Structure formats: C-alpha cells, structure tokens
Amino acid sequence: MPHAILDRPPLLEVSHLDVDYVDPPHPPAAALRGITFTLQRGEALGIVGESGCGKSTLMLTLLRLLPAAGRIVAGSVRLDGVELLDLDARAMAALRWKRIAMIFQGAMNALNPVRTVGEQIAEAIRRHEDVTNRRALDRRVSELLDLVGIAASRREQYPFQYSGGMRQRAMIAMALACSPDIVIADEPTTALDVMIQAQILQLLADLRRQLQLSILLVTHDLGIVAELCDRVLVMYGGVMAEYADADTIYNGAAHPYTQALLQAFPDPTQPAQKLAAIPGAPPRLTDLPPGCRFTPRCPHVFARCHTAQPPLYAVTPAHQASCFRAETTSGGAHA
C-alpha cells in the first residue's frame, strides 16, 4: 500500500524544517533539525520518540502554534502545495481546525472545564463554517458525538461529568467538527487504561477508513503505531533517526535507536523475556554531544560518529536512516 500512495502528490510536505527555542542571553536550543517527510491523503504516519525528542514541537510547528520562545529558522511546510510558513496570521487561523485539526490529550486538561462539551464542539463549527441556526448546530454536534459513541443528550454536560475515555472521544468529535484533511493525534491514549486505549485506537482506525482521514499520530508507544500507522518517523534529539513504512521499522530497523526502542517493547511471543531498557537519558537540546546525537547511548559507536551528525541515508528508496552504518548499504546521503 505505501508505494501506491507514494506516487500521488503529497497532501502535506514538510522539508528541511529547523526550529530553535530562544532564551536570550543563552544560545538558541536546536529543537528540530532537517525534518523532512510527506503525508498522503488517507495515510497514517506515526511519529515516535522519547519525551523531549521534538515530536510535540513538530506538531505545534505544523499549526504554527509554537510557544513564544519557538522560532522556525528554516524549512517549508506545504499543504496541497500552499506554503503554510508564508501565510499571514489571519489566513493561518482560518486554516487551523478547518484543514488540520488536533486531538490533544483530552483526558487531561485540553477541554475547558467551565463550558459544556457541546458548546466547545459547536464553537469550532461556528468559527469555520457559516452555521448560525441553533437547531442545525445542535444537530451537527449530536451527529459528531454519535460518531464517537457518545449519547447526544450528554452534550449539555461539562467535561468533569465525563470519564477519561469519554473526554478523549469528545476531543476526537471536536477534531472532526469541520471535516479536516489532517488530524494530528498527540498521545491520544496517554492516561487512559488499556481497555479504553484499545477502544480509542479502534475508533481512530474506523474513522480514518470512514472519512478518508490523514492522521499524524504522535506517541512514544510503538505498539500503538503498529496498530494504526502505514509509515513511521522515529525522532531522536530533534532530528530524524529513521523513516520507513511500519513493516520495515518493525522487521528491518537500520538505526540503533529504533532497534533499541523495539527491544524495549514487550514481545507477546516471548513473555518471559526481560525488556531491555535504553541506557542513559535523551540529550538536552542545550548540551548536545558533538557528532551524532545518539553516541552517548549507542552500542555501535565508532570514531566517525563523534565527528558529525550523520545525514539521512537511503537504505532503500522508501527507507531512510541517519546512521553512518547505513551508508554502506546505500548509494549515498539521501537528503
């Protein structure tokens, strides 16, 4: 399937994206470097990495909602060929939620506690569509809640009257309110128990098929990615570690970090096997090691690793890894 979609022009095209966090008088922190990927219509891309690897920064950059200290230094984000980084604030605001919506961790505090769930969904519709008729608006909200399996009569209730799983469902209903092209799901199952997690993932998978959604799924959980995603982008310390279709990632990972992540993940066929933790801690962006960012934790380090950050090498045309060990198998640097 991935190859078939790759032939069409991409819906979203991110290339060579660099983002800094500035905090004068300190030197800027390199939050993202050289992020390049595409998203096809109907495709689900998993973005995987530890906390602080830049995955949330990347999502906020796509919506241009970085906190005040964030600076987009270089790169391009194109949606259907339109450069988002060149849009003025008004045009960007009009595009948010209408074209790219975001599922925040609804179980936490992403819904306003003092407004009803229905109001918060209706607000998104009112902002982007010309629906002023109260009845029509109520009907839309009810349909959306119905779509995610919440009784329409509960739209008058407040988030605190919902369970964690229901709040996440309501968040999904809200994200779908304006029929967006792309839905960004930022750790949508964090803080939910396993049963509810499975339900939410099933819901996302169903909706994706039903509505031809493109999904960017941000998570640190490779298991979730396996269930939902066509392709996977593994991030480490603000750079791309590996980018390939899900199958390749699970069965032929080329980057030592991806391999370590997979080993840290339980294998259901080997229940007795002890999980391998990745030694050390993710790098601090203000204190990066010289050369490859993964060197302090990498089991395969050799001299060259300390000299420069490896570029993305194409292991196969649809599989890239930023590791010098991948160079030998590829024809040269991809990007």
In whole angstroms, the minimum distance from the beta carbon of 106 to another protein comes to 9
Position 195 contacts another protein (CB under 8 A) = no
Region 28-67 residues binding another protein, contact defined as CB under 8 A: 63, 65
- The residue count for binding another protein (CB under 8 A) is 32
115 close to 55: Cβ distance less than 8 angstroms: no
Position 129 contacts another protein (CB under 8 A) = no
Intra-chain end-to-end CA distance of the chain, in Å: 24
At CA 78, angle to CA 72 and CA 83, rounded to 5? 70
In whole angstroms, the minimum distance from the beta carbon of 314 to another protein comes to 34
Position 260 contacts another protein (CB under 8 A) = no
Which residue, 17 or 110, is less far from another protein as judged by CB? 110
The 156-175 site mask, x for binding another protein (CB under 8 A), equals xxx-xx--------------
Element (H, E) at 284: none
47 CB-near residues (< 8 Å, 6+ apart): 55, 58, 59, 216, 217, 218, 219, 232, 233, 235
In whole angstroms, the minimum distance from the beta carbon of 104 to another protein comes to 6
In whole angstroms, the minimum distance from the beta carbon of 177 to another protein comes to 9
In whole angstroms, the minimum distance from the beta carbon of 80 to another protein comes to 18
Whole-angstrom distance, CA of residue 63 vs CA of residue 74:
16
Position 326 contacts another protein (CB under 8 A) = no
Stretch that binds another protein, among 15-23, 150-158, 236-244, 280-288 (CB under 8 A): 150-158
Buried b (16+ CB within 10 A) or exposed e, 248-274: bbbeebbbbbbbbbbeeeeeeeeeeee
323 CB-near residues (< 8 Å, 6+ apart): 241, 254, 255, 256, 292, 294, 310, 313
Tokens 């999502």, residue located? 59
Region 68-127 residues binding another protein, contact defined as CB under 8 A: 93-98, 101-102, 104-105, 108-115, 123-124, 127
Sheet (strand 70-79) strand order: 26-39, 12-23, 70-79, 82-83
Which residues of the chain form contacts with another protein (CB under 8 A)? 63, 65, 93-98, 101-102, 104-105, 108-115, 123-124, 127-128, 151, 153-154, 156-158, 160-161
